[in-house]
Amino acid sequence: MASVLVTGCAGFIGSHLCERLLADGHQVVGLDNFDPFYARSLKEANLGGFFQHPNFRFHALDLRDGTAALTQTLGDTAIDVVVHLAAKAGVGPSVREPAAYLDNNVLGTTHLLEWIRLQGIGKLFFASSSSVYGNTPQRPFREDQALLQACISPYAASKLAGEQLTYTYHHLYGLSVLNARFFTVYGPRQRPDLAIHKFVRLLRAGQPIPVFGDGTTARDYTFVLDTVEGIARGVRYLLTQPSGYETINLGNSHPVPLLELIAAVGEAVGITPQLIFQPMQAGDVDVTYADSRKAHALLGYAPQTPLADGLRQFVTWLNEGPVDSSHHVHPVS
């Protein structure tokens, strides 16, 4: 088994991935900066299921602190492959704070790539986003589409810049890279700012759900464990393939209109939604729709979770009460 470095390990997707990699027998080194975008205690709760695992080591670190900080923190830790999930996420907040997104997602990624080069690590899985496709009319979205003028939010631009950086390091230094564009991941541990989480809270509070636009915008909702399956297969691919550079979509290939999603959330909660229509938000795209045939061909990726099942699992997790813990996670010495 391999030693895998996971950046953003305390987040929604990162914590699920660490659990999966540990279950697969890997050694996992986790990094997280506990960005205050949402409560640190929720991220600490995400770590709770595996923080004491003998094959897991954790370090609190902000990638913006630079290559020297990475070297000082990780020392000579042997790493076979890096999974880079750490980023400031969210389209709307990036419109309000573009500089913070470029600082975290572009500069932070640059520091990580330079550290990877200096350490002689040859393999990288980079988490990109479906947002890089913008409102391109070609659907479903294919990885070979031209995207130079597609991005319509700073978040999207930061992710596409990350892909360009990974290519630069592949071209110059032979880094083997698998870029994966995630499509609207949802499920247990979902960030509180994301739509499904918000909708459930509003329903339970007896408040109307805001519908931005006319309700026909659609997203390719992908259950978190299906995304994690794709990442785990991507790690295996990187470990077994010769050096290369590939970009794949990790989506469900089934866009769900907003009004249909709201109805499905209401059914999962057992409350009929009341709606309030509002203008479209700046930076939002009309549709996301993954062509996942390349991921299937390279990795055998095939999502298994229907939306109704995934929503039920999310509501069950929420009912059990994600622990807003008061203890603090401390890095290893």
Q: Which residues are catalytic?
A: 155
Distance CA 290, CA 143 (A): 9
**Contact (Cβ atoms closer than 8 angstroms) between residue 287 and residue 240:** no
Q: DSSP letters of 160-175?
A: HHHHHHHHHHHHHH--
φ/ψ of residue 219, rounded to 5: -130, 150
CA atoms within 13 A on the CB side of 327: 9
The amino acid that residue 24 corresponds to is D
Distance CA 264, CA 270 (A): 10
Query: Helix, strand, coil shares of the chain as percentages rounded to 5?
Result: 45, 20, 40
The amino acid that residue 60 corresponds to is A
**Contact (Cβ atoms closer than 8 angstroms) between residue 159 and residue 105:** yes
Distance CA 308, CA 1 (A): 35
